[in-house]
Amino acid sequence: MDHIGIDLHKRSSQICILTEGGELVERRVLTSRERFAAVLGIRSRARILIEASTESAWAAACLEQLGHEVIVADPNYAPMYAERRRKIKTDRRDARTLAEACRLGAYRPAHRTSEPQRHVRAQVAVRETLVRTRCQYMALIEAHVRQEGRHLRTGGSQTFLSRVQELSLSPPLSEVTAPLLLMLDHLNQQIRTADVQLEHLVDADPRVRRLCSVPGVGPVTAASFVATIDQVERFAGAHQVEAYLGLVPREMSSGERQHRGRITKAGNSRVRWLLVEAAWSILRYKKPETAALRHWADRIAARRGRSIAAVALARRLAGILYALLRDGTEYQPTRVRPPAHSDPAAA
């Protein structure tokens, strides 16, 4: 069987083919389905190694349709690049390195998210962009209003337009803010549509519905967590999920010296941020169902500060959400207890 390494890029990609007879074939092609089919569609079944990237999902599906075995590899796996020289990096060298790693088996496969969950992640990403854009527009309008010595009354994003209309803005200021106010109205409509889509997702997916039973976890956080985990069976336990989401501390230890630093921030940054926000909501808004989690985090806060306590609580929420997915159960506040032999300082 031939072994092929492909260094994928947005516009063009480098292909390196190691044939069974030891021949080396190199080609540079446009990154398109048509060119992949023209170059690799006529070859017999081969094993192809590509790095996980923005283009890897559709490229892998395209190459599999051509009859090849495709492996999407984790680019953070250092042994895969053992043959690459540090001081000289080119696409040709990278493709050769991938082909050699494919031949030797020196790679770590990356998880390929299913098509439905990729769609969910795209929905959440679009909604997040809409919300961030709305926040930028609101902040800019409020800054212009304050420059005239006026102040908006306190309120949420849904009442922002009505609060602006309550003020008698000067003609120049009205002219400046008119385009932003028009865009804000359109953004609010789009965000409401995105929220309705997420509500339908919650109703259709029992996993997301179960995760919404956890305090501080709403449809966005639950849907993002399920889409990122995808297959709960691929994790051996909650600690592996916490590490996958970058919520465990960095460690630089050698001999008798042990040093733990800030969290690694590996994995999906959106899910990590949403879990931290859920943790802050538990700490700020005291509810009976969050008492056990809040008391556990308060003990850490007394020693290390509230910011570290919030991250530690986010890590624990990740473990709880994983357990609900694994066991098919809903959140039960009475079952939450401080973990045995826990080390709050490790947060």
Instruction: Please check whether residue 246 is in contact with residue 263, taking contact to mean a CB–CB distance below 8 angstroms.
Output: yes
Tell me the three state secondary structure of residue 151. Answer: coil
Residue 345 clears pLDDT 70, i.e. is over it: no
Concatenate the DSSP letters of all residues of 246-294 into one string: T-SEEE--BTTB--EEEE---S-HHHHHHHHHHHHHHHHS--GGGHHHH
**How many other CB atoms are found less than 10 A from the CB of residue 232?**
17
**How high is the pLDDT of residue 261?**
84
**Sheet of strand 69-73: strand arrangement:** 24-30, 12-18, 2-7, 46-51, 69-73
Q: Render pLDDT for 130-155 as a digit per residue (tens, 0 to 9).
A: 999 999 999 999 999 999 888 899 99
Tell me the three state secondary structure of residue 4. Answer: strand
**Paired strand residues for 311:** none
Q: Does domain 2-104 have CATH number 3.30.420.40?
A: yes
Q: Render pLDDT for 300-343 as a digit per residue (tens, 0 to 9).
A: 999 999 999 999 999 999 999 999 999 999 898 877 765 554 44
**How many other CB atoms are found less than 10 A from the CB of residue 162?**
10
Structure-token pair, residue 291: 């008492």
Q: Which residue is listed with tokens 């098919």?
A: 328
Report CA 112 to chain centroid distance, whole Å.
14
d(CA 169, CA 214): 44
Instruction: Please check whether residue 122 is in contact with residue 145, taking contact to mean a CB–CB distance below 8 angstroms.
Output: no
d(CA 207, CA 117): 12
d(CA 235, CA 221): 19
Dihedral pair phi/psi, residue 254, rounded to 5°: -155, 125
Length of the chain: 347
Q: Mean pLDDT in the chain?
A: 91
Q: 175-201: buried (b, 16+ CB within 10 Å) or exposed (e) per residue? A: eebeebeeebeebbeebeebeebbeeb
Give the percent of the chain with pLDDT over 90.
77
d(CA 250, CA 248): 7
Specify the pairing of strand 2-7 against strand 12-18.
antiparallel
Taking Cα atoms as reference points, which of 102, 130, 110 lies closest to residue 192?
A: 130
**How high is the pLDDT of residue 136?**
96
Residue 315: CB partners within 8 Å, gap ≥ 6?
242, 247, 248, 275, 347
Specify the pairing of strand 69-73 against strand 46-51.
parallel
Q: Render pLDDT for 153-198 as a digit per residue (tens, 0 to 9).
A: 999 898 999 999 898 888 999 999 999 999 999 999 999 999 999 8
**How high is the pLDDT of residue 63?**
96
**How high is the pLDDT of residue 83?**
67
**How high is the pLDDT of residue 284?**
92
Taking Cα atoms as reference points, which of 154, 151, 158 lies closest to residue 131?
A: 158
Average pLDDT (72-100) is 86
Report CA 69 to chain centroid distance, whole Å.
27
Report CA 250 to chain centroid distance, whole Å.
19
Q: Which residue is listed with tokens 């995760």?
A: 211
d(CA 236, CA 233): 7
Nearest 5°: the CA angle 214, 218, 224 is: 100
Residue 346 clears pLDDT 50, i.e. is over it: no
Tell me the three state secondary structure of residue 179. Answer: helix
Specify the pairing of strand 69-73 against strand 249-251.
unpaired
Residue 30 clears pLDDT 60, i.e. is over it: yes
Q: For the chain, what are the domain ranges?
A: 2-104, 115-204, 209-346
> Which of the pair, 81 or 48, is modelled with greater confidence?
48
